[in-house]
Chain A
Amino acid sequence: MSEKKTVSQAAEASRSEAALIPAVDVIEDASGIVLYADLPGVSKEKLSLQVEGDTLTIEGEVSIDVPEGMDASHVEVNLPRYRRSFTLSKELDTTKVSAELNHGVLKLHIPKVAQAQPQKIKVNVL
């Protein structure tokens, strides 16, 4: 009875580039940055993470089971795609990013490069 389709095929055809901006939490500690992003409806296969220069882009396509011939009567998630970009700084090590996707929540860990790990700086009082 159901078939895998994106939220709105019409929206996809006419506005292929329009996207929703997912809500995120960004937390920094001594070892690096942890980013959580809400991407409900995005499976692992439809998630794309890209680092280009100093820009990190998260993009995901919503794919939910919609029965054949369904008419939407109320729509809040009205685009089939999420996208958001962040500018990274040079002390973050983009080669060691790790990602987990669990129940539609993406968790990214971006460690700091070794040299950028905290060092206690001694203050000399003259």
Chain B
Amino acid sequence: MLYRHLFPRDIFAELDRLHREMQGSELYSSIRGLGRGGFPAMNVGGTPHSVEVYAFAPGIDPATIDVQLEKGVLTIAGERKSDLPERDEKVAVHIDERFSGRFRRVVSLPDDIDPESVEAKYRDGVLHVSIRRREASQPRRIQIQ
């Protein structure tokens, strides 16, 4: 399958996704394979004033998340410790689906961002990075003389 989801969906959502995929709206061609999922799952959006990046990275100490912006590329890296117990004969692990280990995801940002005004917040397991666009590139109404 072209598009692997970090969160599998229920059957109705899946049918809906197939329907949209057939219409070609979910095909991504980024060289970094942004469309392929992985940990953390990410949503990216933009407004005329800013670019907003959301990384769904639950269960991580915010102090250990490394967020870097260099040459218009945003990198989010860190490590998530496993909650599974050490091997023990009295403990059974029935389901083991949650991601653990090191992660790194990279997003290339548009050219008009201002690398000096970046804000990152972590709440309920979601890292939200907001990068403002440069004033000069924001839409302006041009007066007609």
A, B co-complexed: yes
Chain A interfacial positions (CB closer than 8 Å to B): 7, 15, 17-30, 33, 36, 38-43, 64-77, 79, 82-83, 102-105, 107
The contact of A29 among B34, B50, B91, B98, by CB within 8 Å, is B91
A1 CA / B113 CA spacing, docked (Å):
18
In the bound complex, do residue B12 and residue A36 qualify as a contact, i.e. CB atoms below 8 Å apart? no
| Binary flags per residue of B41-68, CB closer than 8 Å to A gives 1, else 0 | 1111111111010101111111000000
| Sampled A-B contacts (8; CB under 8 Å) | A20-B5, A20-B7, A21-B7, A25-B97, A38-B58, A41-B56, A67-B52, A72-B44
Complex Cα spacing A39 to B126, Å: 9
The interface of chain B, by Cβ under 8 A from chain A, is: 5-10, 12-13, 16, 28, 34-35, 37, 40-50, 52, 54, 56-62, 83-85, 90-99, 107, 121-122, 124-126, 128, 130
B50 contacts across to A, CB distance below 8 A:
67
Distance A62 CA – B49 CA, assembled complex (angstroms): 24
Question: Who on chain A is nearest to B15 by CB?
Answer: A18
- Are A28 and B91 within 8 A (Cβ)? yes
Query: Roughly how many angstroms separate A82 CA and B6 CA in the complex, as a whole number?
Result: 12
Are A71 and B83 in contact (CB-based, < 8 A)? no
Query: Quick check: A20 and B13 within 8 Å, CB to CB?
Result: yes
- In the assembled complex, the Cα of A73 lies from the Cα of B85 at a distance in Å of 39
